[in-house]
Amino acid sequence: MTNVNSRFKMAFRLPVETGVIALLVVISLWLARTFPSFHTGANISDIFSNCSETGIVAAAMTLVIATGGIDISVGSVVGLCGVILGTLTVNHSWSLYTAIPITILAGAFCGWINGTLISRFKLPPIIATLAMFSAARAGAYVLSGGDSISGLPDALTNLGYGSWMGVPISVWIAGTILVLMGILLKKTRFGRQILSLGGNRVAAQLSGVNIMRTEASVYVISGMMAGLASIIVTARGATAVPDAGQFFELRAITAVVVGGTPVIGGRATMIGTALGLLTMRVVQNGVTLYKKDGMWENLVMAVVLLLAVEVDRWRRTREMKAS
């Protein structure tokens, strides 16, 4: 194959987000055609604001998956941090300015335990975070005594329902986190180190990446983001409940994978993750519009997940043929 020819084909190389874009467009068009209420401002704002909690968690999950790891503890950490926030503000009447940083630090601490077990003690990520998954959820129940904590400060609940420039504050926070994580991943040395770690651990170490520190940091970030998400979950729910954040890990992983990030690591796309989140929300919205039970969402999501992976396979085969 001549150079010119291959370059010609290179021009038609499809982005990794092809699958998710195609699915999102098809589903949205279908819903917009069937239901006029789908493309009203209120509905679209609803779609966005419902992604915010999962969005924060999924942004960090993208980094974790980029290293080839996985963090299934985030949902439980969200529950634990929410209870910590509730206990501090309600039972110990701390001010939000100290309680919020402590909550995020508690999340970071859980992440640090995960990161240390994985990077220093070389436990498989799924095992270390499985242990944290059990322990953090149990911790949330022990701390709260199994009850929900209500009577949170008004400032916190206002944060959950307030908006700025017509966009809910939770969406601003999630959007900022997604953009920051995207920049972190693609434009900073740390981000490149994450990707090189996921691509080839030995090569990364030989080229001078402190793989232990990089890997641990990723889980710390994931824990911190779970802490931040717990604040939004608590604010939006107006109570701190110990079983908050259930299935967040599943949703975040689904969003990341639907977005086109391969689970083996080494490559990642934050734009894909954001689109994956939107796809999930649009699917959920569609299920509600069809007045179906919430379980249909999971069924459709399973199909969407498999379809996204299929489209990605097709894209890669096409690329391989071209080169």
Partner 1 sequence: MAEKLLDPRMTTPSNLKNSVFQNSPLRLREAPALVLLLVIIAWMFLFKSTFRSLENIGQIGQQAGILGIMACGEALVILTGGVDLSVGAIAAMAACVAGGRMSAGMPWQLAVICGLGAGLAGGWINGALITYRKLPPILTTLATLLGFRAFTNIITGAVPYTPLSAGFGKIASSYGPIVSFVLVVVVLATVLARVRFGRRIVAIGCNEQAVRLSGISTDAVIRRVYLLSGLLAGAAGILISGASNSAQWNIADGYELNAIAAVVIGGVRLSGGEGSIIGAALGAIILVTMQKSLFLYGRPQEQYGLVIGAVILLAAFAEQFRRFRESKN
Residues that bind partner 1 (CB under 8 A): 70, 117, 121-124, 126-128, 130-135, 137-139, 141-142, 146, 202, 242, 250, 253-254, 257, 263-264, 293, 295-299, 301-303, 305-306, 309-310, 313
Q: Helix, strand, or coil here: 147? A: coil
26/303 with CB nearer partner 1 = 303
49/273 with CB nearer partner 1 = 273
190/296 with CB nearer partner 1 = 296
Dist. CA 173–CA 52, nearest whole Å = 8
Are 310 and 99 contacting, i.e. CB atoms less than 8 angstroms apart?
Answer: no
**In angstroms, what is the minimal distance from the CB of 2 to partner 1?**
31
Reported for 318-322, long-range contacts at CB under 8 A and 24+ positions apart, including other chains, are: 318/14, 319/13, 319/14, 322/6, 322/9, 322/10, 322/12, 322/13
Are 209 and 112 contacting, i.e. CB atoms less than 8 angstroms apart?
Answer: no
Dist. CA 87–CA 302, nearest whole Å = 37
Number of residues that this document lists for the chain: 323
66/177 with CB nearer partner 1 = 66
Dist. CA 49–CA 281, nearest whole Å = 10
H helix count then E strand count, the chain: 15, 2
**In angstroms, what is the minimal distance from the CB of 80 to partner 1?**
11
30/247 with CB nearer partner 1 = 247
CA–CA distances in Å: residue 113 to residues 72, 120, 123, 218, 249: 14, 10, 12, 12, 17
Are 73 and 110 contacting, i.e. CB atoms less than 8 angstroms apart?
Answer: yes
**In angstroms, what is the minimal distance from the CB of 246 to partner 1?**
10
CA–CA distances in Å: residue 272 to residues 164, 238, 314: 26, 31, 17
75/175 with CB nearer partner 1 = 75
**In angstroms, what is the minimal distance from the CB of 18 to partner 1?**
17
**In angstroms, what is the minimal distance from the CB of 121 to partner 1?**
6
**In angstroms, what is the minimal distance from the CB of 243 to partner 1?**
9
**In angstroms, what is the minimal distance from the CB of 309 to partner 1?**
6
Distance of CA 7 to the CA centre of its chain: 36
250/289 with CB nearer partner 1 = 250
Are 281 and 251 contacting, i.e. CB atoms less than 8 angstroms apart?
Answer: no
Which residues neighbour 28 within 8 Å (Cβ) at sequence distance 6 or greater?
38, 282
**In angstroms, what is the minimal distance from the CB of 263 to partner 1?**
5
106/173 with CB nearer partner 1 = 106
